[in-house]
Structure 1
């Protein structure tokens, strides 16, 4: 059984599939999950909408609590870290993380950055020991076999590798880097472009992205179930 964690980060509440002003990333993430459930109907899915209910941003009290050893924490520290603990528990339980993350001003939404800041936690998702020989930091999820699927959207075009705007794309790199720091290095991504043009290029980009999402879901399902991809 494969456990999915489905995360949406768009500020738009609806899906562009049935809402003219809806989110393309919600469209893609929902499509991935529908496709997965069609192939694996018994697999559990946990849903987290950080776009509509963003995690609290990290504060000085959060940092104080997180870097205090658990056996020395005061009561308020546990309360301060409760939301972070819940988000980390969801992440630890998941085999595949499906993240719908649009591009806002060349990077991920602030809501998703708050999510990342809450899950990158010393002692829970990465280790640190200043007395350790060599590198004092190490990932705690490196052997967990997790896969991250990033489903994005962009108003302009050419943000993919080798594209005219590739150097300005801080969405996928801004997600891959912290997740890789935790040990999640198996990453796939799909994106819709041309949203601001609203013409046939957008339609073609949506169609291509949906086809890629379907292919990716099938490929990952085959891999998880020990089948060779067709």
Structure 2
């Protein structure tokens, strides 16, 4: 039995394209793998807090055990990391905001990228033998023109940060041109949905 962590980060609710695409993948996956387990995390509707001074103090503290206030400062981080580590695979929906990731997803990253939990002091990733699917949604296109590629800080960042913690088997499906007219939008969504169906069979 495979355990999948399904995470959505769009705050748009039912109007979100990234949510609809991750939902489509998970529904299709469960049709083929009905015994698999899904854990769902919605940081668009329920954002995680950004790290603060207490979090930093607790994360780098050498004291064992931690004082109660420091333990409390890491409570959300511990929950999110435990959830990440117990899963075998990940399906994340992440819209592009200003050429990168939404602030709520950056807050999630800052909570889970933690020394001694997801990487070692020597920068060795501890989240290994996992697979990840990231479905992004974008208003324009970042595949072809060099000038456009240079503005894509989303995929390079996501690939780098997850590889840093040990997740190296990462697949991206980009639904692009969503604000470039109905024809371009539908063409891109069709391509993304075809990729989703193909991945369900091959993943």
- TM score, norm. by length of structure 2: 0.96
Q: Is the 8 A contact 1:25 1:153 kept in 2?
A: yes
Residue 177 (str. 1) matches residue 160 (str. 2) = yes
Contact 1:2/1:95 (<8 A) preserved: yes
Structure 1 position 120, deviation (Å)? 0.3
Say whether the 8 Å CA contact 2:2–2:89 is kept in structure 1.
yes
State the distance in 1 between where 2:125 and 2:71 align: 23
* CA offset digits 1:113-171 (Å, max 9, x no partner): 0000000011110111xxxxxxx321112xx31011110011112x1376651111111
Query: How far 1:198 moved relative to its partner?
Result: 3.0
Give the match for residue 81 of structure 2. Answer: 88
* Matching of residues 190-229 of structure 1 within 5 Å: 190-220=173-203
Report Cα offsets for 1:53-75 as digits up to 9, x if no partner. Answer: 11100111101001113614110
Q: Shift of the alpha carbon at 1:193? A: 1.2
Distance 1:119 1:161, change over 3 A: farther
Tell me the residue number matched to 1:140. Answer: 126
Give ranges in structure 1 of 5+ residues lacking alignment.
Answer: 15-21, 129-135, 221-230
Partner of 2:6: 6
Question: Which residue among 47, 53, 56 is the counterpart of 1:54?
Answer: 47
Secondary structure at the aligned position of 1:197 is classed as coil
**How far off is 1:3 after superposition?**
0.5
SS class of match (1:87):
helix
Partner of 1:101: 94
1:23 aligns to what?
Answer: 16
Unaligned runs of 5+ in 2: none
181-190 or 159-168, which moves further after superposition?
159-168
